Amino acid sequence: FMLISLATMATLILVRAVTVARSLRRAEWRAEALERIFKMLAEDKTVQLPARTQRGYTRLLTGLASDLLALLKGLEHEHLVEIFQGAGVREILIGDLRHWNARQSQAAAENLRFFRSPESVAALRAALVHRTPEVRLAAALSLAEMEAAPPVEELVRILHIGSTEQ
């Protein structure tokens, strides 16, 4: 029992160390990305977002895009959309829209409204038949905000309004 206890404790300590290291790396990436984004907003042409391929970094960028794009309006908003689009955030969100996790798909549907493009509209229209009603509704709202929603009669039919959905 003592050996099992020691092995368990060693495993828990190792898991904790990995978790802390991951959190510190994520905080570093966030600070670096925010600094670069603010410099880019200030029209510093020498700064770009790093082309990192780690999954955690791309998740960080989609989260930052969601937070920052909801806060800014006007020219800064448009410039920020260009920055995130250049970093591939729109493609990540389109991929997330097809994800098995409904919360992730819903967040992607809500955030794609910032990236007005034929690809975004096509992905959101495809999400109108998602298995989860929240994702379908988020896609419909984003399409409406982009002024690309199907006619109301078609939306009522697709979203099952008045039949299965309340």
Q: What would the pLDDT profile of 111-145 be if each residue is shown by its tens digit? A: 999 999 999 999 999 999 999 989 999 999 999 99
How high is the pLDDT of residue 58?
Answer: 80
Residue of 141, 89, 154, 149 lying closest to 115 (CA atoms): 89
The DSSP secondary structure of 86-101, one letter per residue, reads HTTHHHHHHHHHT-S-
22-74 pLDDT, tens digit per residue, is 999 989 989 999 999 999 988 887 888 876 666 678 888 888 998 999 898 88
pTM of the entire structure? 0.79
Which token pair is 69? 């794009």
How high is the pLDDT of residue 59?
Answer: 82
How high is the pLDDT of residue 165?
Answer: 54
How high is the pLDDT of residue 52?
Answer: 64
How high is the pLDDT of residue 53?
Answer: 63
- The structure tokens 């819903």 sit at 106
